[in-house]
Structure 1
Amino acid sequence: MSVALVTGAAKGIGKAIAAVLAEKKYQLLLIDIDKDNLEKTANELAAKHQIEVAILHQDLSAPGALSKIQAWTNPYHDQLTVVVNNAGYGINGAFEHLTLEEQFNIIDVNVKAQVGLSYIYIPVLRKFPKAYLLNLASTTAYQTVPYLNIYASTKAFALSFTRGLRYELRNSNISVSALSPGSTDTDFVNRARMGQRTRRIADRFNMTPEKVAQIAIDGLFKGKAEIVPGFTNKLNAWLPKFFPKLFVEKIAAGIYEPKPISGTAFALPS
């Protein structure tokens, strides 16, 4: 029986991806920092699809996290054919007003954990006739995004890293893909501490996690290099290259710059 590993699987896109894989009868290894929702997701998927689901409550930015994950998954390495590096988050705000610690933490989760887990599991995935690695990027990877700066920068890294890795493994059994979703109806906006104005804009273009996940797994198994779900998101990824960078930056800043609400003072994230 084939096994799939999904990080950031407690809710949102990660949970939806796990559900699509469960429908395909993959046994699941699910990792998340959110213990309660992770347990809830595992119980739900196991009962609905009659599969085995193992969970690990883990902060990917914590010291020793990669070694702990590797040891935890070791009993499944003879069956592990799909790895999904979905975990990631961002914080909305001006670079100078966010703490350095929280911005380094974004880099640890979005970049260092993705690189580390890819490195750990490539030798495992090489064991099989066909295996798959999916890394989460974003439509923000295709442009500079002021006030969501560190997040967008990590996603630009993720996209470049994944494409480079895909080329290096082009003659191997491992198919490597990047998933670049746009606005999705998840808890991202809450963790990112986005204001109501930015949320209202995002709501106009939201896709459901389930739709994103279905497109993601279909694209992964078809061997696509980049998977951008939805026509609007494809436009958002494609159009910026045809406009001056300063113009694109102003548009993005207009969406994400924190604004006062109802004439009251706006407290910047700290």
Structure 2
Amino acid sequence: MSYALITGAAKGIGRAIAIELAQQKRGLILIDIDERQLLETAQYIRDKYYVDIVTIVQDLSAQDAVANIFSRTQWYHNYLNIVINNAGYGLNAPFAQLNIEEQLNIVDVNIKAQLRLAHAFIPILNRFSQSYLLNVGSTTCYQSVPYLSVYAASKAFVMSFTRSLRYELKASSVSVSCLVPGATDTAFVTRAGMAAYTLKTAERFNMSPQTVAKVAVKGMFKSKAEIIPGFSNKLNAYLTRWVPKILVERIAANIYRPREQRREVGQTVITQY
């Protein structure tokens, strides 16, 4: 049995991808910071698809997170040919109003953890005649997004890094892809502290995690460089290359500008998905 490692697997897109791969009878190594939901997800998949599942409760912002994951998955390295860097989160508020440590934590999870996981597991993936590394970005990678600035910048990093890594590994057995979802019906927007107006706007374009996961898995196995689910997201990726940046930023700012005075600004609980 081959195995797939998925971060941020307890809910949302990560959970949906885990289910897609379980349908193919692949073993799963599921990682998340939320122990209760992680265990619930694992039990649901075991009961329905009868596949082997390993769960690791881990805060990916911790310095030793990847070393711990690598050590705990050692037995599975001869079977692990898929690694999916899905965990990530953002905070919706003016940069200067948010606690800097919270914003640095976004960098730790969205960027540093992805780098460490890729660096640690590429030698493992190289053992196979065909293997896959999927990094999860966001359509925000194509533009600057005021009031979601650190998150959008982190996803721009993910896209640039993934494409560069893909080129470096093109002669190897490791296929590197970037999933670029847009608005998805997950808990991400509420955890980011988004206002009611922003939530309502996002609902117009929401895709289900299950739909995104199907496109993601299919695109990964086809070795696509960028996997963009949904026509509106593809259109957004295309248009932002040609529309003046100041106009794109103005539109994004209008969507994400906080319209409610929220006491919790700067006190948002860190969550990985």
Paired position in structure 2 for 1:176: 176
Matches within 5 A, 1:91-130: 91-130=91-130
SS at match of 2:258: coil
Report the Cα offset of residue 235 of structure 1: 0.8
Paired position in structure 2 for 1:144: 144
Identity of aligned residues (%): 54
For 2:235 and 2:17, the matched residues in 1 are separated by 23
* Equivalent residues, number: 266
Whether 1:47 and 2:47 are equivalent positions in the alignment is yes
| TM-score of the superposed pair, with normalisation by structure 2 | 0.96
Whether 1:252 and 2:252 are equivalent positions in the alignment is yes
For 1:257 and 1:203, the matched residues in 2 are separated by 16
Report the Cα offset of residue 268 of structure 1: 6.4
Report the Cα offset of residue 74 of structure 1: 0.7
Paired position in structure 2 for 1:16: 16
For 1:234 and 1:117, the matched residues in 2 are separated by 28
Report the Cα offset of residue 63 of structure 1: 2.5
| Residue-by-residue CA offset, 1:48-93 (whole Å, 9 max, x unaligned) | 0011111000000012111101001111000000000000000000
One-letter identity of the residue aligned with 2:126:
R
Paired position in structure 2 for 1:226: 226
In structure 2, do the counterparts of structure 1 residues 241 and 268 end up closer, same or farther at CA, with 3 Å as the change threshold? Answer: farther
One-letter identity of the residue aligned with 1:167:
Y
Matches within 5 A, 1:78-93: 78-93=78-93
SS at match of 1:25: coil
| Residue-by-residue CA offset, 1:14-56 (whole Å, 9 max, x unaligned) | 0000000000111000000000000000000011001111100
SS at match of 2:265: coil
In structure 2, do the counterparts of structure 1 residues 268 and 144 end up closer, same or farther at CA, with 3 Å as the change threshold? Answer: farther
Matches within 5 A, 1:53-68: 53-68=53-68
SS at match of 1:81: strand
SS at match of 2:183: coil
In structure 2, do the counterparts of structure 1 residues 73 and 199 end up closer, same or farther at CA, with 3 Å as the change threshold? Answer: same
**Where in structure 1 are there 5+ consecutive unaligned residues?**
none
| TM-score of the superposed pair, with normalisation by structure 1 | 0.97
Report the Cα offset of residue 267 of structure 1: 3.9
Matches within 5 A, 1:150-189: 150-189=150-189
Report the Cα offset of residue 266 of structure 1: 4.5
Report the Cα offset of residue 190 of structure 1: 1.5
| Aligned residues of 1:97 and 1:268 also touching (Cα < 8 A) | no
| Aligned residues of 1:146 and 1:249 also touching (Cα < 8 A) | yes
SS at match of 1:241: coil
SS at match of 2:31: strand
Whether 1:242 and 2:242 are equivalent positions in the alignment is yes
Matches within 5 A, 1:207-226: 207-226=207-226
| Residue-by-residue CA offset, 1:193-227 (whole Å, 9 max, x unaligned) | 00000000000000000000000000000000000
For 2:33 and 2:186, the matched residues in 1 are separated by 16
| Aligned residues of 1:258 and 1:268 also touching (Cα < 8 A) | no
Q: Indicate the RMSD between aligned Cα atoms, in angstroms.
A: 0.8
**Where in structure 2 are there 5+ consecutive unaligned residues?**
267-273
SS at match of 1:5: strand
Report the Cα offset of residue 171 of structure 1: 0.5
For 1:108 and 1:89, the matched residues in 2 are separated by 10
Give the 4+ runs in structure 1 shifted more than 3 A: 265-268
One-letter identity of the residue aligned with 1:161:
F
| Aligned residues of 1:128 and 1:173 also touching (Cα < 8 A) | yes
For 2:114 and 2:262, the matched residues in 1 are separated by 34
For 2:49 and 2:213, the matched residues in 1 are separated by 17
Report the Cα offset of residue 243 of structure 1: 1.2
Paired position in structure 1 for 2:131: 131
